[in-house]
Each structure stands twice: as structure tokens, then as C-alpha cells.
Structure 1
Amino acid sequence: MSFNVSRETEQRLQLYEALIRRWNPRINLVAPSTLPDLRQRHIEDCLQIARHVTPDDGLWVDLGSGGGLPGLILAIAFADRPTRFLMVESDQRKAAFLRSAIRELDLPRSSVLSSRIEAADPLKAAYISARALAPLARLMPYLGKHLADDGQAWLMKGERWQTELDEARQAWRFALESHDSITQPGAAILKISEVSHV
């Protein structure tokens, strides 16, 4: 299963894959056991978001970017859009990887904020993404703080997403659209908007 992308996007994705393989022995960007299937497990997985949204200009914030999943993948997929991408990553070594990758991938509208998410000033993001970061109930305060009033969050969640949803709804109100994951049975991509505290 792979998504059709332009030749330029494909070249960047291949370079990104090479960068992960080069850095991963020194910094654990992805689980070493997933490296043989890096394209499917990580890159194609993250590209799914690009099937559901086409950003306008404005700021796209990727929370807890780690090795750039999904933030850098989306910045590559939307490199021809006016959208600015900000990767929020508190781990200094991972932030260094992200900055190096942004340079090598030639993504001038992307940057890195090396900060804890809760310590950052409100970012008023038009879009927020996160993958394998925290349970939904722990993510909601971040969305409440950093999402613009008319913004939307795109969260990649595993098989327990329904349970996480029930827990999050105890303290938060939000609009929800769910999309089944194509790469991981039982997983989902959640679009969350209109976030407010109960």
C-alpha cells in the first residue's frame, strides 16, 4: 500500500528515509525493530493525513515531533502549499535531527521549537498533529491551549482510541470525525475541532 505522490515529494521522502537510517543508531528516532519496514510502518502511515486534509496558509504545529512523524512527512507532502510547519520537540538531540533534516530536505517554511508543549506560549495553530504522543485525555489541554478557535487537530491513535475518546469527553467538548487507518487495522485518524472545557 503506497500513496501516489509527485516525483519531487518522492525524492524528499527517500532522503528522509535515508536520514532516519543514518541517525537512528545514535538517537532512537523510531524503534529499531521497525527499520526494515520504515516506509510502510511510519512514512505511509503518516501520509494518510494528507488524504483527508489540504491545508491553506496558516501554521501547522506538530506536537512531540520526535523523528518528524507525522510533522516532517506532512511538511514534505505539503511543500508546495503556503502553510508553515512548526515541530515542537523538547528532546535536544531529536530537535537537532529535525533542524538538520529541514535543511537537507529544503523545507524553508518549516522550523523547530525546542520546548515542552505545556511551556510554550499559545501557538494559535490552524492545524495540529500528533502521533503516539499521549492518551487523548492528556492531549486535550494541549489542543485547548494551542489550537486556533477555528483550527483542527489531526491525531493518529491506536486500537484503544474509542476508550481514549470516552475518557477525554469527561472533561472536554469537541467535534469529531474519525477515519479508519489503512496501514494499521483498528487504528484511526481523528479530526478534532471546536475544543472547549466542559
Structure 2
Amino acid sequence: MMDVPDVSRETRDRLERYADILLRWNQRINLVSPHDLPHLWSRHIADSLQLARLIPPGPVSLVDMGSGGGFPGLVIACATDAQVTLIESDQRKAAFLREAARMAGVQVRVCAQRLEVADVPPAQVVTARALAPLSRLLEWGARFLQPGGFCLFLKGRNAEDELTTASADWRMATTRIPSRTNADGVILELSDIRRVRDHNNE
């Protein structure tokens, strides 16, 4: 069932409790596609854990955008000492995140607002997974990122096309880290993010 090597026993325990409550809640609200449930550990949890390995040690502040069922933000909270804020506008999913964090024994802040208006302090790290094209992630993420911070975005086979599109409006230092769980996937580590020009009517 569990394919998440290189984690502590404590982290495993937290992740198992999180997975248990996710499976129960998933019968009532759509947190994970039923088609994906047999692959919960390999497709979702292990995928999210890749980002945990890239978080600096200690109480780093982190904002996870569009947390949904907890990927990757709640998994990161289970596996690191990061001070995690989960932004999820769906009230039912936000309720799930609060309960899942309680059951897993981790401290997180859940902000049940839309990303465009979410009022949270800027963080050292901003994360997202399967949420939106890169240009949109940068629009949102720039609001939540501290100076000197960086973004970690899990992306698929269209990552290079998204980088090309985003380059029309954004400049950034980009590191590409191959995914361990998806042959077509990549983790984009983005820093020194700055807008090239302002859009009209923003």
C-alpha cells in the first residue's frame, strides 16, 4: 500500500492517519478521483513528498495554493517542520483540511478564501500542484512570496510550453528537477520572480 521510502516512522504515522481520513471523507466530497484512489500513495502522497525534500530545515513559512485534498501542502506539513498555510476556497475541502491536520497531529493554518483575495502573510516558500498554468500561478504566487523566497510547482509534460508563455510577462531564475514519480513530470523551482510589465485592467 505504501510506497514512500526515506521518511521517518513519525512521518509515516502522520501520513497514514491523513490517508485514512481522506479515504473516509472522499465518500462524501470529491477530494481524489475514484479512479486514482488505488494509487493514492504513489500518485499523490509520494508525488507531494518530493517537495518536502526541497524545503529548508527548520520552521520555514510556506503557503500552499489551492490545497484541495491536501496535496502538496498537508503532506509537506506531515513531513517537515514548515509553518504551513493552506489556501482552499471550497468550504467543504477547507473543513476536511482542518480535520485531517488535527487527526494527523500537525499544525497548519487553513485560509478558506479565493487566491485572488486571500489575506495571508508572505512566506518563504509557495507551492502548488495540478492547479493552473504557470502564468496564473505566478500571478497568484507573487502576492504570497517574501523577498528572497522561492516557488515549487509540480508540473507535467507541458512545463516548457508554460515557461515560454510565462516569459512574456515574468522573469525568474528557473531550476528544473525531474520528477521521481512521473516520467513526464518536473518540479519547477522558481526564484527572483519579477514582472516584466503590468497588464491593463489589473
TM-score normalized with structure 2 length: 0.92
Query: What SS does the corresponding residue of 1:137 show, helix, strand or coil?
Result: helix
> Kindly, what percent of the aligned residue pairs are identical?
44
* 2:26 aligned with 1:24: yes
Count how many residue pairs are aligned between Structure 1 and Structure 2.
Answer: 194
Q: 1:63 to 1:35 in 2, by over 3 A?
A: same
Aligned to 2:199: none
| Residues 86-105 of structure 1 aligned to structure 2 (within 5 Å) | 86-105=85-104
> Partners in 2 of 1:136 and 1:197 — Cα distance?
13
Query: What SS does the corresponding residue of 1:28 show, helix, strand or coil?
Result: coil
**Alpha carbon RMSD of aligned pairs, Å?**
1.2
Aligned to 1:74: 76
- Stretches of structure 1 lacking an aligned partner (at least 5 in a row): none
* 2:7 aligned with 1:5: yes
Query: What SS does the corresponding residue of 2:45 show, helix, strand or coil?
Result: helix
Query: What SS does the corresponding residue of 2:173 show, helix, strand or coil?
Result: strand
* 2:31 aligned with 1:35: no
- Stretches of structure 2 lacking an aligned partner (at least 5 in a row): 197-202
Aligned to 1:167: 165
> Partners in 1 of 2:120 and 2:51 — Cα distance?
24
Residue 63 of structure 1 deviates from its aligned partner by 0.3
Query: What SS does the corresponding residue of 1:193 show, helix, strand or coil?
Result: strand
User: What whole-Å deviation, never above 9, does each CA across 1:97-129 have from its counterpart, x for those lacking one?
Assistant: 001111111113x11000001102363111111
Residue 145 of structure 1 deviates from its aligned partner by 1.3
Please say if residues 143 and 195 of structure 1, whose CA atoms lie closer than 8 Å, have aligned partners that are also in contact. Answer: no
| Residues 10-159 of structure 1 aligned to structure 2 (within 5 Å) | 10-78=12-80, 81=81, 83-108=82-107, 110-121=108-119, 123-159=121-157
Please say if residues 18 and 101 of structure 2, whose CA atoms lie closer than 8 Å, have aligned partners that are also in contact. Answer: no
> Partners in 2 of 1:186 and 1:141 — Cα distance?
25
Residue 25 of structure 1 deviates from its aligned partner by 1.4
Letter in 1 for 2:156: G
> Partners in 1 of 2:175 and 2:86 — Cα distance?
24
> Partners in 1 of 2:19 and 2:35 — Cα distance?
15
> Partners in 2 of 1:32 and 1:54 — Cα distance?
34
Letter in 2 for 1:22: R
> Partners in 2 of 1:105 and 1:10 — Cα distance?
10
> Partners in 1 of 2:59 and 2:7 — Cα distance?
21
Query: What SS does the corresponding residue of 2:5 show, helix, strand or coil?
Result: coil
Query: What SS does the corresponding residue of 2:116 show, helix, strand or coil?
Result: helix
TM-score normalized with structure 1 length: 0.94
Q: 1:188 to 1:153 in 2, by over 3 A?
A: same
